[in-house]
Amino acid sequence: MSLLVVGLSHRSAPVSVLERASLNADAQNKLLQDTVAAEPAAEAAVLATCNRIELYADVDKFHAGVAELSTLLAQHSGVGLEELTPHLYVHYEDRAVHHLFSVACGLDSMVVGEGQILGQIKDSLARAQELHTAGRLLNDLFQQALRVGKRAHSETGIDRAGQSLVTFGLEQLARGADVRAWAGGKKALVIGAGSMSSLAAATLARAGVAEVVIANRTFDRAERLARTLTEGDDTGVRARAVPMESVAAELTRADIAVSCTGATGLVLTAEAVAAAVADRTGQPVAEIADDRRTAAPAQGAPASVTAGGDEGCPLDLSAVQPGFSVMGEAAVAGLDAAALEQHAAWVAGGAVDRREAARRGPEADAELIGALAATAASAGRVPELRRPEPVAEAPRPRPVLFLLDLAMPRDVDAAVHRLAGVRLVDIESLAEASADAPMAADVDQVRRIVSDEVAAFGAAQRAAHITPTVVALRTMAADVVASEIARLEGRLPGLDDKHRAEITQTVKRVVDKLLHAPTVRVKQLAAEPGGAGYADALRTLFDLDPETVASVSRAEDSTDKNRGPA
């Protein structure tokens, strides 16, 4: 087994990189075809979701495989290899199996325990099977991953640890309030009719919205989804389909909008959202500070640092106490005279652009810091500091439109975060919110399941590796029996059918008994770690034709590679 996975996810890359590296259906197909056409890879499968892009392959060389798969991911994603490489992770053989099984169980998801990933793994396998890029290894791997994921959800309470990305997104929109109470009676617009959009529509219906409107580029799919909602469970929700051209008009009536399409460009621009809100409120929409950036600062980070304002600053800003400005006297907590002098020179050079600098001027700060540096040099410490008065943040208007963007790349312009009267939750917001989400105790049990299943899969693969050799050995034995029976018939031409059949059966039984114990034992030994050499030993001991063994392997691989969707 030479399984290799190269990929990136929300755990290894910022959302901005994931967004740019996302692959549409055509790009995934081309990536698969180019991967199996490359020299190191014999099989390939792509797992592409809203928060991960992973390329799986059966390779004959590790280093060449890593280089080739990384290059292919960069070429097809459009992100340069130098920029992409720091965000890539690589798993090989058993570690690659462990990674996929963990993904299938929801352990590596943005929302731990979510079950949507199982459908995405099944789709990935079906795509590879349809394009005939999945052979024995990837067919076995992905089908076993689906079984492991289902086992984890049925035998443990991992479902309690997490939820679907849709549910988690709605909880973020509701800001911790009960989703049913928050959504009850609202009108919802769902843009897209794929699997994620369908889940969003069903979740909204169960949450008690009064109406769900489905917009999709293929109107028939929107109609089918609307009909399913209307005729489905006892939600009593009204559902109707509209063409994509009606999104702008429907946005003026909706309270909640969820978008998850495969579009490569924006579906909802900031201007379109502002126009919809203005139409509802009768007031122009103002831009305010992005509420994701006005939250309490992380421990050790200065509260008043603005984006880009500290570029080139010689200070170690992690040493600055929370709540202090990085300007003036508050910047120097715990710093020595040399660092203070460097900071004074930096401030004097006009390298900052902050509200306090605009009020006092960088020269005043430079003078103050210089004086503090002199004091620190003579007294050995910085004088007691005064905590600056907190700056009151302007209250954000109550939202009249809630937007949930689950697409990658994004459907909704990020500038919408700054619009008054709108609350937007997107993949980036969900990644930030999920970082602190609690994990259930059942996660440990799922991890044990994954470890057991990885060991079992590895043993099965190692045992399967010796199967062609065992088949070739038994084929050789059968040929020897047939040859000897034919020679006996030449020497005893008067042998009747009854005696010939009895002799033939006796010889076959002798051969089978002689081969049974060695072949069973060699399979057991081959299944153990380090057992790959037993196949070579068997071929050497019985002088088996390598081409016969290879032909059995090719026949098995051909059968698996042409297997239909699972």
Decide if 105 is catalytic. no
**Region class of 387: left (phi > 0), else alpha (psi between -120 and 50), else beta:** beta
Residue 163, annotated as binding a ligand: no
Q: How many residues does the chain have?
A: 566
Helices (H) and strands (E) in the chain, counts: 22, 10
Q: Which two tokens stand for residue 111?
A: 């929302």
User: Is 49 assigned to a binding site?
Assistant: yes
Is 192 marked within a binding site?
yes
- Check the annotation: does 194 bind a ligand: yes
Distance CA(200)–CA(11), nearest Å, equals 24
What's the number of CA atoms in the CB half-sphere (13 Å) around residue 31?
A: 33
User: Does 52 count as an annotated binding residue?
Assistant: yes
Residue with tokens 């500038």: 415
380 assigned ligand-binding residue: no
DSSP SS3 for 375? helix
Q: Is 483 annotated as a binding residue?
A: no
Residue 530 region by backbone torsions, left for phi larger than 0, else alpha for psi between -120 and 50, else beta: left
User: 530: annotated binding-site residue?
Assistant: no
Q: Is 116 annotated as a binding residue?
A: yes
Q: Are 192 and 259 in contact (CB under 8 A)?
A: yes
User: Is 2 annotated as a binding-site member?
Assistant: no
**Integer Cα distance of 303 and 300 in angstroms:** 9
Q: E strands of 115-201, at which residues?
A: 187-191
Question: What does the alpha-carbon distance between residue 505 and residue 426 come to, in Å, rounded to a whole number?
Answer: 71
Which one-letter amino acid corresponds to residue 394?
A
- How buried is residue 192: exposed, middle or buried, by Cβ count under 10 Å (0-12/13-18/19+)? buried
Q: Is 162 assigned to a binding site?
A: no
Does residue 33 have a known ligand-binding role? no
Count other C-beta atoms under 10 Å from residue 11's C-beta: 14
- Contact yes or no for 194/218 (Cβ under 8 A): no
CB 234 within 8 A of CB 245: no
421 has binding-site annotation: no
- Looking at 50, 105, 260, 313, which residue is catalytic? 50
By C-alpha distance, which of 290, 346, 295, 356 is closest to 325?
356
Q: Would you name the residues annotated as active-site residues?
A: 50
Known binding-site positions for substrate: 49-52, 109, 114-116, 120
Known binding-site positions for NADP(+): 192-197
Known binding-site positions: 49-52, 109, 114-116, 120, 192-197
